[in-house]
Amino acid sequence: MNAAQVMEDQVDAEMHKLENMDEDDLESMRRRRIAQMKKGQDQKREWLTLGHGKYEEVPEEKEFFNIGKKSKNVVCHFYRDGVFRCKIVDKHLELLAPKHVEAKFVKINAEKCPFLTERLRIKFIPTIMIVKDEKTVDYIVGFEDLGNCDDFSTEMMEWRIARSDVIKYSGDLMTPPTAATKDKITILGKKEKIIRSSARADDSSDDDDW
């Protein structure tokens, strides 16, 4: 209640300030806002020039380090051909890349880049590595942080990446979003449980120990 009262007082104070602005104050605010918008547009153009807004494959190991030097925020997916869960990650990152141009979204074939994979301690596939200011700040290993299921939503992926402070997120970073699709089966017969358990065991092989 105290926190709510503080927030309410702050809003009231801001409204009072706005209501009592003269023309010079409003013009000054307008100029600052225009300057901020121009700066934001310039920054966006720079990001797009660096290839932000697209989800692309890094062709060779040395190119990865060049990307880190040019882009402040990097989201890198380490994958292997034939791993089903890597395709799921691809689907979500392809949607997020154009939405969040403030970060560079890339992927690397772990088998073709063994030196980089070992150096960065990539032991499970898929792994998403988060880089900020040329430093590795986070790893998303498998789907455990994404609801531990294959049908998690793109917003869930967005939320998890945003917790590493490399993309902007409009929701609550303390609470994960509700998955777009959930397991609708709540009561299972014994035979159905056995079938589902077997299927999950088969799926778990996609989280490969490198």
Residue written as token pair 């699709």: 181
Are the beta carbons of 166 and 135 closer than 8 angstroms?
Answer: no
Torsion, Cα 171 176 178 183, to 10 degrees, reads: 160
| Whether the predicted pLDDT of 152 surpasses 60 | yes
64/75 Cα distance (integer angstroms): 11
The percentage of the chain sitting over the pLDDT mark of 90, rounded to a whole number, equals 44
pTM above 0.75, yes or no: no
| Whether the predicted pLDDT of 192 surpasses 60 | no
- The residue length of the chain stands at 210
What pLDDT was estimated at residue 45? 77
The string of pLDDT tens digits covering residues 71-114 is 999 999 999 999 999 999 999 999 999 999 999 999 999 999 99
80/89 Cα distance (integer angstroms): 12
Across the range 25-42, mean pLDDT stands at: 74
Q: Which residues pair with 136 in a beta bridge?
A: 131
The string of pLDDT tens digits covering residues 37-83 is 776 777 677 767 777 899 999 988 888 888 888 899 999 999 999 99
10/12 Cα distance (integer angstroms): 5
**How far is the CA of 209 from the CAs of 73, 80, 167, in angstroms?**
27, 12, 29
Q: At what angle do helices 84-99 and 154-162 cross, to 10 degrees?
A: 70
Q: Buried b vs exposed e over 60-98: b needs ≥16 C-beta within 10 Å?
A: eeeebeebbeebbbbbbbbbbeebebbebbbebbeebbe
More confident site: 12 or 197: 12
| Whether the predicted pLDDT of 186 surpasses 60 | no
What pLDDT was estimated at residue 4? 64
Residue 100 CB coordination number (10 Å): 23
Cβ contacts of residue 131 below 8 Å, gap of 6+?
68, 73, 74, 75, 76, 137, 166
What pLDDT was estimated at residue 18? 64
Question: Fold for domain 37-210?
Answer: Glutaredoxin (3.40.30)
| Whether the predicted pLDDT of 126 surpasses 70 | yes
